[in-house]
Amino acid sequence: MPATRKSTRASAGAGKQQTLSFKHKVTKAIKTGKDGYKSPSRTREYVPKPSPEPESKKAEEDASSPTTDEEHDRDLPQPEVQAQPAVQDKSEAELQAEKITDKAIERYWDRIEASRSARAVHRKHTEGLTTGEKVLRYFDVSSQYGPCIGITRIKRWQRAQRLGLNPPIEVLAVLLKEEAEGNKGIERAHMDELLNSTAVGSVGV
């Protein structure tokens, strides 16, 4: 029967925690002397900073010798400055509309009246209006260019132009002429003014 090895450590009693023993030998060798630990702060060599130069001497040197950036810019070829073309504020449609005369607008309105079956009825409702106002009101009720409520006439014309609906250039010509004369009443559709006035009048009822 093999011999059992007895433990030299005292067995801990039930319910008792074992205590750590610090009575042991150091097995790791510690370097001493020259090979010992060197502090990082001691290993750095002290390098004294140069004393600042006098301000007067430094200013003279800066004035006499140009900076490297100036020399570099001087050696580079200077780009030629080209005159930029003036930005055109007006679109092609507006330039075309400005060339339309009042006679061309009259001919446009005559073609509209000639295409109507009941001309006398329409003439009765347009008495006392200028040709420009007649053209604008006819543009207001032309539903193929989108709704006219809540949008100015010129913005409605521009929207129809962007959508490819080909609004009449005569309408834009009338709007530009009236705007040049300072007539603010042509900005909104007549139907829009009527609806707004009815809504305002019904508030107090």
In a domain, 194, yes or no: yes
In a domain, 28, yes or no: no
Task: Report pLDDT for 169.
Answer: 94
Task: Report pLDDT for 87.
Answer: 45
Q: How far is CA 58 from the centre of its chain?
A: 48
The count of structural domains within the chain is 1
In a domain, 63, yes or no: no
In a domain, 12, yes or no: no
Rg for the chain (alpha carbons), in Å? 48
Task: Report pLDDT for 193.
Answer: 79
For residues 205 and 201, what is the distance between their CA atoms, to the nearest angstrom?
Answer: 8
Kindly report, residue by residue over 138-195, the tens digit of the pLDDT. 999 999 999 988 899 999 999 999 999 999 999 999 999 998 888 888 888 888 878 8
Task: Report pLDDT for 205.
Answer: 46
Instruction: Mark the ranges of the chain whose per-residue pLDDT is less than 70.
Output: 1-16, 21-48, 50-88, 119-122, 124-125, 198-205
* Domain interval for residue 125: 92-201
Supply the pTM of this predicted model.
Answer: 0.52
For residues 162 and 156, what is the distance between their CA atoms, to the nearest angstrom?
Answer: 10
In what helix (H) or strand (E) does residue 199 lie, and over which residues does it extend?
helix 190-201
Task: Report pLDDT for 198.
Answer: 58
In a domain, 24, yes or no: no
Contact partners, residue 35, CB within 8 Å, separation at least 6? none
In a domain, 173, yes or no: yes
In a domain, 5, yes or no: no
In a domain, 46, yes or no: no
Phi and psi at 3, nearest 5°, equal -75, 135
Q: Nearest CA to 150 among 90, 80, 199, 202?
A: 199
Q: Tokens 């079956």: give the residue.
A: 117
Task: Report pLDDT for 70.
Answer: 55
DSSP, res 116 = -
Torsion sign over Cα 77, 83, 89, 94: negative
